[in-house]
Each structure stands twice: as structure tokens, then as C-alpha cells.
Structure 1
């Protein structure tokens, strides 16, 4: 009987150590019949053994966007801290007044609370935060900040963190910054752009900075320069074949500037666009017929299918080869899709703008695919990829894209129709076993949803672009620290940086692509031998442990042998027991 009692006491104490819990103030909006007012709710979190599931219990009920934001907060927090969370479930609770307006603004608060528990810290009671949480830990703009700051002041909260770029507040006849407005309510309002900044302010965790230079892989520079030379050389040839060269002068000038800066992917991209414009002009001047276009299309289809066969036969074993496969396959598929458009056109047409557009894009996209195939040189052996992991990574990324898409649709119902098509295409590619293209397509779909979500409420695109570029750069540096150079991610980053002065929307999108694809190595990492986890003892554990030892003492006194009785032990002598143990 005594051993049963001791075993129960030990098991109880062991289980208790696994539990972590905490709370944070949650700023929200509440419907009051005549409008919305700010309120302070309580967001609680308990971390227990499990399978990395996220649960939410609320009273009253909240929107699906709130639930999704907590899931994203879990993903972002674990990655930000580089902690393996796969052995834990996360149980959130929200206690609020009736009429609370659900939405994604709980994301940053949830990320802060979770991060605090993961590093054995707690969030101060007089701190609150509002903002969405997006890929890379970017904190997004939310509405109702004025009302939320007012509610914080009424509840005695001293510090409120809001997203960077939060709009000014109208107060009577005055327009004040949100910081100034908070000061009048005895609330310190601080703008933060990322979860890293928030963790540094609240928990004292130093954030990663992207101040150091990126180390560009020499092999990448060599091959990408060859790609740029191929595409820009093609621009020079096509320029001599058309009368109106001015159509592409702006693009070719930018390409020359990018080449001079050593930005070879950006140069190649500008030249590709120039080639499309120049060849379109060439075919128009030649008055290409539908029949002639169809003949050319058949030749392109033959070349594209032959190249696809060669690519499909390759044994992809590294991250570089995987990303090369993504780039080449994407271009081949886009070329074939354009060819299908030519083939669907009525053969009786003598001249068609649509035919020319489809044919030109197909030809130039296939040429780009052939030049990108240069990266299949086998020189980079870093980042081993297996077929099974590639399949799992495809499924994981499609799931993430689906979640993020539904998240955005719950906020903006009419958005992302094109992205829906990309996700469906990724599902189809997964069914066909084309896992690399599935991963690439789903990654871009998720990035598109992220960009739209991050742009909500943003009035200064310059600032949003700089934040996205900074976070993408940090992701690239993190990949470098693991000995991996993600070629597509860096290419997109370089192009986004090149676009930022004259096409901010495209720059934001390509920076999002870069961020998403810079993290692709996370799907191919070896499982951790030891999970990096930290446990915090809940408040009730202290008394429990005291009770355990007190109970153990009582059991020992009641059951110890009387004098003169001897018991043999099955244990080794003390000296032998020490062997092999950590000292």
C-alpha cells in the first residue's frame, strides 16, 4: 500500500510540472446599441501536453477570425523563439462583456502571452496590446484604437502597445497622434512593428536585427548573372527587330541599372518584361495570323513538354535543387497554360490581340525556364530533401494557405478570388504527386493573403514595405545561419527591393513571397533530439510539492522497519548507482 501512495504522489507532482498558464489584458470593441465602445477582456492560456493543437473557449462566442488569429499566434511565437512546440496543446480562454466584436486583433496579444509562457515569464498586469499577427511576426493595423486606449485608461492599464503606423486620433477639434492621445489619459502608448520588438519591450528578450550584410552565395551570383545575360541579350536582339523600341526603353534602362548594382535577378525580371513587350510589338507589326500563331504554339508545346519530362526525371536532393525545380516547373506550366489559350482560339481569326498575348507569354516564359535550369548544376549540397518530407511540406503549406485564406475572407468577404484558384491548384498538384510545385504555389498563395491582411488600414505604404523587407531579410539571414541559401527567396527579396521606389504594391507582394520561401527549410529539418522547452510551475504546484514531501515523510515514519529487522535491497550500492549518472 505504501508504494501505491508514493507512486500517486510522484505522478501528481510530475503532471503538475507540465502545466503552464497565464493571462493578458485584451483590448476589444463592444457593441452597445448605439455604436462601439472600448472594453478590456481577459485572454487566458494554458499549455498542456498534446499534439500542437490550439483550442479556444469564449464567453460570449467570437468570430472565426479570432480563432484563426490564435492559431497563427502559436505558429509565429514558436518560430520567433525557435522553440519546438510539437508536444504541447494550447488552451485559450476569452472572458469578455456581452457584445464583444470578434476579429483578428487578438493575435498580437496571444503571441505575447504565449511567448512569455514559453520562456518562463509573465506579462505585467498593467500592459495591453492590440494588433493582428502576420507571417514573420509583423503586427498589423486594427480599428478602434482610440476607444481601446480609452478603455485601458479607465481600467488602470499603464502601457498599451499598438501597431506601427496607427492612424492619428480625432479629439474634439484636434487631431493627435495616438501617443499624444494616450498621454492625456495617463496611458503610455508605444508603436511596434513586429513581435520581436514587442518581446524586447515587455519581456526583455533581445530581438534579431537585420543590420548585418547578407552573404550572397557565389554560385548563385555566377548562375544568375548568366540568366540575366541570356534574357537581356534577348532584349537587345528583339529591339533590333521592331520599329517602336520605346515600348521597352524604361524596362531595359532599369535592367542596366540593376546589372550595374549586381542585382541580376531584378535585371533578368526587367528584361523578361521587356522581351514580352518587344515580341508583342514584333508580331503585331508582322500581322501574325491565328493559324501562324497556332503553328508556333505547337512548337512551343513540344519544347515545353520535353523540358518537363527532363525536369520530372531529376532526383531532387537539396534545398537549392528543390527551389530550382520550383522555378523551372512553374515557368513550364505557365507556358503550357498560355499555349492552351492559343489552341482554344477560333482558327478563322486572322488577327487577334489575345492570340498574340498568349503566344508571346508562352514563348518567353519557356525561354526563362530554360535559363533557370542552369541552377541544376549540382554544386550546392546543403539542405538535404527527401521525398516523404517534401510530400509532408506540401500538405503543411496548403493547410497554412487555406487557413490564411479563410482568415482574410472572414474579414474581407470579396477578396482573394485569384488566390482561391491558386490554393485549389495546389490541392490538385498534391493529388498528382507534384509536391515541389504544390509547395511553391501554396507558399505564394499564403503570401498573397498575408500581404492583403497586412495592408488593411495602412495609409503609408512606404513604411509597410520597409517592415516587410526587413522581416524578409531577417528570414534570409536565419536561413544563412543554418547553412542554406534559398535562391528563390533571395531573388524575390532583391526584386522587391528594386521595385520599392516606383511600384510599392508589387514590392510588398514580392517581399511577402521572399519571406514565405525563405522559411521553406523548416519543413525539412531533422527532428530535434531534445525538444527545446521550458516549463513554468503554476501557483498551486508549490503547496502541492510541500504536501508531497510532508506526506512522504509520514509514509516513511509509518512504514520504516523496526529495530533489529533487516531488509535486503535490490538496488546496487550507492557507489555503483552513481556510475553513468550526470554529475
Structure 2
């Protein structure tokens, strides 16, 4: 028992000696209202198996634990460390109970980065902000109280999330920068961890600038042109046939009005597709033409239903058989290094077709026949589009992939999706999360079925949909640049990141900010997936991928040298004390054995 206690004592002292200690601002509820208080966060990183442990006193809310896991993930990505090989221990101490916890996410990320890289911290800086999986810093509450907490901790610089400089207090709009100046605290807005790092250390972490690969870009355009030509040709032909048919038919005022409106809408989409094609936006053009095709397919089978040429149930059985055939075609294709993007797109679309068909049958049994035809038409075309995608590339070319090699990566993506979705549900308990929860269930099922590529894609869908509440008011320019950098990196590995480029192009064509953000997120996630797949399948070749560069931060260098020296002096003293304790304990047990 004494040996165990001694070992625990030594471990504790060693961890404390080599830990990073960083202060974070928090808000405490008192009899006089909310006040800002500083919180001490101690961070240790050791070799391990990817766990994040948290010890808080007083107890904090669950959202802080979720923040810690996201912080560890982001720190690993920024530093290039595989966090599956480390354990992170976070100890939070406060003299008073604090309200909430996600606002320490960005601070914990900084602390983990400094612990991983063995960097000293500038003790004059404090930060507040949630952490998002892409490294951006999210909004928090209690900005003014947290600036006061920085003052109490003798900090001269306070970093706050970008866009939160002005705080509404009743009828007043308070400038946080001016508020800080009165307290002797310089308040600075930051949008990402990359912007925050130079304030805490004598280093800058810069995202490495990979240039666009024009050969890959041209390959992408060729593929998308081919796909667009197929879709547009089908849609134009169907539009011509249905226009003639509707001219010579009449099914009552309401139906006629509805059908003509849908026909006109499809015409507008085809015109839009043509313009997008002329502008070189081939993915956007394909999407517009495909949406037109869905409307036209719906009109065609609604007409057959109204004429008595086809009953809805027979149509849905026909669609079901077609999807089954499409699925066989998609899954018969060999998975290779050159076509895994196209195969993934095909499998995702088959999965979507099956879900749409389920909705069609539900509508049918509820007696909503128009809706059943609409879902059925969408399902049919989604299944056909799966075949289009997998037919874009000859599966006889390229090195065949043993899909079981993707199992560890699928597990990693599944774990990541669960972490992010749980985190978001904790932050926004009233959020309707049925959409991404359904994707998560599908990801788990695909994993259990050994369909690891589909499991990765469905996990990715979960992450994107879950993250929208976190980044919906975020910095679009940051997300755009982040996505483009990921695409360029994927291209540098020889991958043609079709999905990432397509989503990026589509985001560029949109006016709605939330939709733009969502598709930039899809773009960056799919590009990262390409990178991860290449790394996973080329482990034996030890592909070196450098996403960031570490450069000196000249502005903070002088101040940081002082802090580093202070830390080193403490470290020397602590090490001496530990050495003495280790010697004492070792000697005691040596005597006990003899």
C-alpha cells in the first residue's frame, strides 16, 4: 500500500511540475448579481490512448467536458499530433461556483497546444471563447464580467471572440475595448486559435499555403462537365415532352395550375443551369439541372396517375426495384485509390434514395398520394445519380483498396461525430437534432455492416449538421480560407477532391450566409476526408503531411523571454524538490526491504 501511495505522490508531483497552468475568465452568480472570476486550469499531456480526463472543483456543467474533448481534437490538428497516442488531463479549480463552461474551450485549446509543444505561456494574457472543431473561436456571454476577471488576475490583455466587441446592456451598447481601457486591460478580438496563439507565446502557427493544383482542377472540371451534360440532356428532353403534353391536357383548375407552375419552375432552373455552365460553375449547374429533373419526373408521374395510366403503389414498387438494381451496380464496383471519391458519392446517394423511398411509402399509407409521387420521383433519380457517379471512372484503373483498411478511420470519424453531436446537444438542449441524429444512426449501422466508406460519409454529415449552430454567425472568410487550404492540401497528394471542390463552388454561388457556411463546412470536411484516406492507405509509405508552419512571433518575443525564464526557475526549484522526495521515498523502501 505504501508503494502505491508513494508512486501516486511521485506521479502527481511530476505532473504538476511539467504541467501548463493557464487562467481563464468565468462568471459567478452572487447575491449582488453576476461577477467575473478567474479560474485556474492545469493541463497535463502524457502518452496514452486518446482519453481526455477532467477534474473540476467546484463541479462545472457538462458542456465544459465537451469543450475539453473538442479542444484536444483541435490542438492535435493544429500541432500535427495524433491525439490517439496521448491522454489529456485537465484540472479546473475555482474559489467560487462558476456558471457554464464552454467559454473556456478556446483557453483549454491554447493550454493543450503549449503542453504538447513545450511552450511557455505569457501570463499577462487571458482569453474567453468557445472552441469550434475547425479551430475558430465562438461567441460567449458575460464579456464585461470576464474583462473584470482579467483585471482581478492582473492580466493586461484580454482576448474575446471576433464580433463581440459591442455588448448590449439594457438600452446601452457598451464598447468592450473602451470598458477594458478603463480597467487597464487591452481587449482584442480574435476569430481563431491561430490568431490567439501569438498573444500567448513567442510563436505563430501559420497554415501552410499549398497552391492550387491546376492539373487536378482541370480533371475535376472534366468530370463535372461530363456529369452535367448527362443530367442537362435528360432534363431538357423531358421538359420538351411534358410541355407538349400539358398543352393538350386539362385536369381541373387546381391541378393544372400546380403542374404548370412546376413546369415553369423547372424551366427557370434549366436556364439557371445553363448560365452557371457558361460561368464555369459546373457543380452548381449540375445541381440546378438535377433539381429541374426532379420536378419534371414528379410532373410526369403525376400526369400518369391523373390519367389512370399508373397507380401510386405500382410506381413505388417500380422505384424500389430500380433502386435495388442501382445499389447492386454501385456496390459491384471495385474500390480503388483513383475512384474512392466517386464510389463514396454513389453509396451516399443510394443511402439517400432508400430514405426517400421510405418517406414515399409513409406518405402513400397516409393517403398523401401527391407527396408520395414527389418522394418517389426524387428517390428514383437519386438512385440513378448514384450510378452516374460510379460510372465516371473506370474501376479497372488504379490500385484496388481493401476496404477493411478503412475500419480504423471509420471508427475515428464515428467517435468524432458522437463527440461533436453530444457537445452541441449539451450547448443547445432545445435544438431539434433529428436530422444529424439520423445520420449518426446510419453511420453506426454502416460501420456494423462493414461499409466503412459510407460510415465515414454519414459521420461527416453528422458533424456538419451538428456544427451549424456553432458557426452560423461565424467568420465566413475564415471558413472559406480554411476550406480552400484543405482542398489545396488534398490536391497536393494527387487526389481529385470532387466533393470538396463541388461544395466549395456551390457555396460561392449562394447568397444566404448560413447556407454558404454549411457548404464551406462540407467542403472542408470532404477535403479532410480525402487527406485522411490517403494517410490511412499509405501508412507503410509514411506520407509526410505538413499543414502548418511555426514561426517566431517578434512582437511578443521580449516579453515572453522574461516569462520563460521565470517558468524555468520555478521548474528548477520544483525539480530539485522532486528529486529530494524521490530519493527519500526510494531510500525508505530500500531500508524496509533489508
TM-score, L = length of structure 2: 0.80
Per-residue deviation at 1:156?
A: 2.3
Indicate the residue corresponding to 1:138 in structure 2: 136
1:316-465 aligned at under 5 Å gives the runs 316-318=335-337, 320-343=338-361, 352-378=369-395, 381=398, 386-415=402-431, 416-455=433-472, 458=473, 464-465=475-476
Range with greater deviation from structure 2 (416-425 or 339-348): 339-348
1:38-53 aligned at under 5 Å gives the runs 38-53=36-51
Asked whether the 8 Å contact 1:256–1:267 carries over to 2, the reply is yes
1:199-238 aligned at under 5 Å gives the runs 199-203=197-201, 204-208=203-207, 213=212, 215=214, 216-238=216-238
Distance 1:70 1:353, change over 3 A: same
Q: Distance in 1 between matches of 2:575 and 2:36?
A: 40
Indicate the residue corresponding to 1:21 in structure 2: 19
**Deviations, residues 497-535 of structure 1 (Å, cap 9, x unaligned):** 222x2x322222222222222211325432769999x9x
Asked whether the 8 Å contact 1:290–1:348 carries over to 2, the reply is no
Q: Distance in 2 between matches of 1:348 and 1:279?
A: 22
Indicate the residue corresponding to 2:281 in structure 1: 263
Distance 1:265 1:150, change over 3 A: same
1:247 aligns with 2:258: no
Distance 1:164 1:328, change over 3 A: same
- The count of aligned residue pairs is 526
Per-residue deviation at 1:55?
A: 1.0
1:475 aligns with 2:486: yes
Higher helix share: 2
SS at 2:87 equivalent:
strand
Asked whether the 8 Å contact 1:27–1:152 carries over to 2, the reply is yes
Q: Distance in 2 between matches of 1:342 and 1:548?
A: 72
Asked whether the 8 Å contact 1:199–1:207 carries over to 2, the reply is no
Distance 1:171 1:23, change over 3 A: same
TM-score, L = length of structure 1: 0.81
2:517 to 508, 512, 527: 508
**Deviations, residues 2-50 of structure 1 (Å, cap 9, x unaligned):** xxxxxxxxxx99x969984211110111121454222111111112232
1:304 to 323, 326, 334: 323
1:522 to 529, 532, 542: 532
Q: Distance in 2 between matches of 1:286 and 1:148?
A: 66
CA RMSD of aligned residues (A): 3.5
1:131-170 aligned at under 5 Å gives the runs 131-166=129-164, 168-170=166-168
Asked whether the 8 Å contact 2:357–2:375 carries over to 1, the reply is yes
Indicate the residue corresponding to 2:178 in structure 1: 180
Per-residue deviation at 1:151?
A: 2.0
Unmatched 5+ stretches in structure 2: 1-9, 247-259, 551-566, 584-594
Range with greater deviation from structure 2 (190-199 or 278-287): 278-287
Q: Distance in 2 between matches of 1:18 and 1:250?
A: 66
Per-residue deviation at 1:134?
A: 1.2
Unmatched 5+ stretches in structure 1: 1-11, 553-583
Indicate the residue corresponding to 1:489 in structure 2: 500
Distance 1:200 1:228, change over 3 A: farther
Q: Distance in 2 between matches of 1:46 and 1:363?
A: 54
Asked whether the 8 Å contact 1:18–1:49 carries over to 2, the reply is no
2:59 to 58, 61, 81: 61
Q: Distance in 1 between matches of 2:576 and 2:26?
A: 39
Q: Distance in 1 between matches of 2:159 and 2:284?
A: 37
Distance 1:531 1:334, change over 3 A: closer
Asked whether the 8 Å contact 2:160–2:190 carries over to 1, the reply is yes
